[in-house]
Amino acid sequence: MTGARQVSGARARGLLVAGTSSDAGKSLVVAGICRVLARRGVAVAPFKAQNMSNNSMVCADGAEIGRAQYLQAQAAGVPAESAMNPVLLKPGTDRRSFIVVRGRPGGHLEAGEYVGGRRHLAEAAFAAYRELADRFEVVVCEGAGSPAEINLRSGDYVNLGLAREFDLPVLVVGDIDRGGMLASLYGTWALLDPPDRELLSAFVVNKFRGDEDVLRPGLEEITRRTGVPFLGVLPFLPGMWLDSEDSLVVGRWTPSPSDSADDVTGGGDRLRVAVVRFPRVSNATDIDALAAEPGVEVLVTDSPRECEAADLLILPGTRSTVGDLHWLRERGIADVVERRATSGRPVLGICGGYQMLAGTLDDDVESGQGQVPGLGLLPIDVRFTPDKVLRRPTGTWRGHPVSGYEIHHGRVELEGWSPYLGANLGGRYGWSAEPFLGGWRVGQVWGTLWHGALESDAFRRAWLSEVAAGAGSPWRPQPGAPAYVARREAMLDAVADAIEAHLDVEALLRLPR
């Protein structure tokens, strides 16, 4: 996608895309609108005042923003920057979130501060919107959750608080796939105070399957009662696994109930990958590229049995490394990881999952628990520091170029062989440590701090081939399979095409003001 120009001078027009709930499709609708505008040569930028997500990305300037806004910038054809997501909350526990302000760590937020303790965050968000509005023709904003969360309205600056501050028209997206959409749309309108309600400018139905004639009477009645028109009905788009804010609900690789499968040992020519469902998983989008690879079957699970049966077990990133390591042991999956390591069956740890494979972890930052034992499967120790590492490394593996990004507090230090490693791996099998993408590999235990590395096509296919051989799987890469980046671009185009085909685009383009 060729980048649209930026402008200066007159203040941009803006639009807020809200939703009846989380995962209603706001992120994709914003991405699609950005692509539609970019196709028309409009200088457009995405914006989300505050994101609450553990899926994030590092911009070229080292700023950390929500993964969805990074994707939306790609849809708009412009470089991602911190102003597009000035406030990012990363949940650490059920009552505390870590704050990222303009791409950098900004302390933490307790649950009791959520309504009234965020004024400085609102000021940062409004200032970022003004920056974008001075440089672009249109700013397409994404809301958070639902604008009808009236318990949070007094401190809101991402939904109607943002719309009121900048007099933005509001487009509300309703997810019909989950049911109750008509009630949700009407309830959203009914719960708002009159000044907020006046900003509701249009409704859009999302994820529809079936005959629109059956739906139409309901839409007409909602418009009659609210005065808010519908711009159209977007169809359900199968196989849409674009970067999500809601972890582990991503298209083709869907969560699995614990130990629910009668048979977890099937196979054929498929490579079976189990991804551990950590309670505080982060950057789960790392797995998207695997799920898109032909013949690779990805299962998200907290079942020890399924982790044992897979050809490859992945410990993904986590926002609470020490806490999720304790959970891994309590769940019995730590024992599975150790058995796989000693028998030479592939395990990959990414970022927090890699750090769990260390001899020791010293954490006074995220968990405050000090020094705790790791799984002892790689010759490293981990020390957490207040300063966060944010960077975009590049390198090679077996001659294949690889790029990724790092987001972590833990510093990895190479140690001598840990007691477990020396006695059970190095001593018994004679395996030695080998550098691997900023991390280490011993036998079939692989660890890296690099998120996003699996998006590098040649590397991913070569590495999976080695993993398949180590697991005894007949899987091999499919010749001519499309590149991951090309598939992502095709999906962005598919969303934009659906908007062009199913919405009143001329009315949509008249909304921003």
- Average the pLDDT over each of 108-122, 162-176, 299-313, 330-344 and give the range with the smallest value: 108-122
- Average the pLDDT over each of 253-257, 395-399, 401-405 and give the range with the smallest value: 253-257
366 CB neighbour count, 10 Å cutoff: 22
Q: What is the mean pLDDT of residues 67-92?
A: 93
Residues 6+ positions from 398 with CB-CB distance below 8 Å: 459, 462, 463
273 CB neighbour count, 10 Å cutoff: 25
Burial of 466 (0-12, 13-18, 19+ CB in 10 A): middle
Q: What is the mean pLDDT of residues 30-56?
A: 94
Q: Is the pLDDT of residue 415 over 90?
A: no
- Helix 321-331 × helix 333-342 angle, to 10°: 80
The CA-based dihedral angle spanning residues 98, 102, 106, 110, taken in that order and rounded to the nearest 10 degrees: -40
- In whole angstroms, give the CA distance from residue 60 to residue 500: 31
Q: Is the pLDDT of residue 456 over 90?
A: yes
What is the DSSP pairing of strand 271-276 with strand 296-301? parallel
**What does pLDDT average to over the chain?**
87
Q: Is the pLDDT of residue 173 over 90?
A: yes
Q: What is the mean pLDDT of residues 419-444?
A: 68
Residue burial 26-53, b: 16+ Cβ < 10 Å; e: rest: bbbbbbbbbbbbbeeebbbbbbbbbbbb
Q: Spot the catalytic one: 34, 59, 351, 408.
A: 351
- In whole angstroms, give the CA distance from residue 312 to residue 464: 9
Residues of the chain with CATH 3.40.50.880: 271-475
Q: What is the mean pLDDT of residues 46-62?
A: 91
**pTM of the entire structure?**
0.85
Q: Is the pLDDT of residue 287 over 70?
A: yes
Instruction: Grade residue 97 by pLDDT with cuts at 50, 70 and 90.
Output: confident
| Token output for 7 | 């402008």
Q: What is the mean pLDDT of residues 363-368?
A: 84
Instruction: Grade residue 9 by pLDDT with cuts at 50, 70 and 90.
Output: very low
Task: Between 482 and 244, name the one with better pLDDT.
Answer: 482
Instruction: Grade residue 113 by pLDDT with cuts at 50, 70 and 90.
Output: low
Q: Which three-class secondary structure string do you get for 188-226?
A: HHHHCCHHHHCCEEEEEEEEECCCHHHHHHHHHHHHHHH
Burial of 22 (0-12, 13-18, 19+ CB in 10 A): middle
Residues of the chain with CATH 3.40.50.300: 16-242+489-510
291 CB neighbour count, 10 Å cutoff: 20
pLDDT in tens, 314-348: 999 998 899 999 999 999 999 999 999 999 999 99
How high is the pLDDT of residue 260?
A: 40
CATH number for the segment(s) 16-242+489-510:
3.40.50.300
Task: Between 22 and 357, name the one with better pLDDT.
Answer: 357
Question: Is residue 56 within 8 Å of residue 100, measured between CB atoms?
Answer: yes
Q: Is the pLDDT of residue 92 over 80?
A: no
Sign of CA dihedral 433, 314, 361, 329: negative
Instruction: Grade residue 421 by pLDDT with cuts at 50, 70 and 90.
Output: very low
Instruction: Grade residue 95 by pLDDT with cuts at 50, 70 and 90.
Output: low
Residue burial 171-185, b: 16+ Cβ < 10 Å; e: rest: bbbbbbeeeebbebb
pLDDT in tens, 226-281: 999 999 999 998 877 666 554 444 434 444 344 344 344 444 589 999 999 999 88
The percentage of the chain sitting over the pLDDT mark of 70, rounded to a whole number, equals 87
Kindly report the CA angle at 67 between 138 and 14, in degrees rounded to 5? 15
How high is the pLDDT of residue 262?
A: 39
| Token output for 352 | 């927090």
What topology does CATH give the domain 271-475?
Rossmann fold (3.40.50)
How high is the pLDDT of residue 137?
A: 97
Task: Between 291 and 334, name the one with better pLDDT.
Answer: 334
Q: Is the pLDDT of residue 5 over 60?
A: no
pLDDT in tens, 184-210: 999 999 999 999 999 999 999 999 998
- Average the pLDDT over each of 36-40, 159-163, 238-242, 269-273 and give the range with the smallest value: 238-242
- In whole angstroms, give the CA distance from residue 451 to residue 12: 34
451 in catalytic set? yes
Q: What is the mean pLDDT of residues 350-365?
A: 93
Q: How far is CA 343 from CA 346, 444, 461, 480, in A?
A: 9, 9, 23, 34
